[in-house]
Amino acid sequence: MTCAEKALGDCLLHSDVILAIQDPYMAQIVDGTKNYEFRRYRLKPEVKRIWFYRTAPHSSITHVCETLLAQTRNPNDVPLEEDGLGNAEFNNKHVDWNGFDFAYKMVSVYELLRPISFEMMKETYGFKAAPRGLVYLPKTIRDTVDWKQQKLAQQALGRPDQILHMSSTLLSAGTYLLTTGSHYRHLLNPAQ
């Protein structure tokens, strides 16, 4: 039985999620002024890419971004570099950032050459409603849209070991991975 014949939930990728986003936030990610996406929830550690569904008037998945594990602002956490829109407010727990305790680095931003409209999401990929919160990407989208073949709009600058400003990332309880250049490349280019 193919994914198209199965229920949508049977063929979801846990490495890729769809998140709804409004303008001007997507435009700020694309032009690099916003280099983190702030959310109220932690994505699973398996998540490597965020596919952004731009709300009306676009009503389409328009971009896919590679990301890293969530950074938090708990006591003793390394603060975000204050080189992007909202980073200082996140670090300083500004009132407008209450509850937005998870920051996701936008490592690369790809613009889809052919955005996936909401109509196409319904007709081709089995969506019943537009994404509002976190939705795992159906495998059928990944099989028909190769994110690596899309237009690269933005990529984090610097050496791989400079892009991450933390010396280690918590993967699971008691397990750490040093994020040196070679490990960083592995995080960005997993064999999937």
Q: Name the residue with tokens 């990728």.
A: 13
Q: Which pLDDT band holds residue 55 (cuts at 50, 70, 90)?
A: very high
Which pLDDT score is estimated for 5? 41
Tokens of 71: 């950074």
Return the CATH number of the domain spanning residue range 8-156.
Answer: 2.30.130
pLDDT in tens, 17-48: 999 999 999 999 999 999 999 999 999 999 99
Domain ranges of the chain: 8-156, 160-187
Tokens of 138: 């159906």
pLDDT in tens, 125-175: 999 999 998 999 999 999 999 999 999 998 875 433 333 433 333 333 333
Beta bridge partners of 36: 105
In 3D, which of 67, 15, 77, 71 has the Cα closest to residue 184? 67
User: Residue type for 19, please?
Assistant: L
Residue 45, helix vs strand vs coil? coil
CA distances from 64 to 96, 102, 120, 160, 168 (A): 26, 19, 17, 20, 25
Which pLDDT score is estimated for 86? 97
Which pLDDT score is estimated for 10? 55
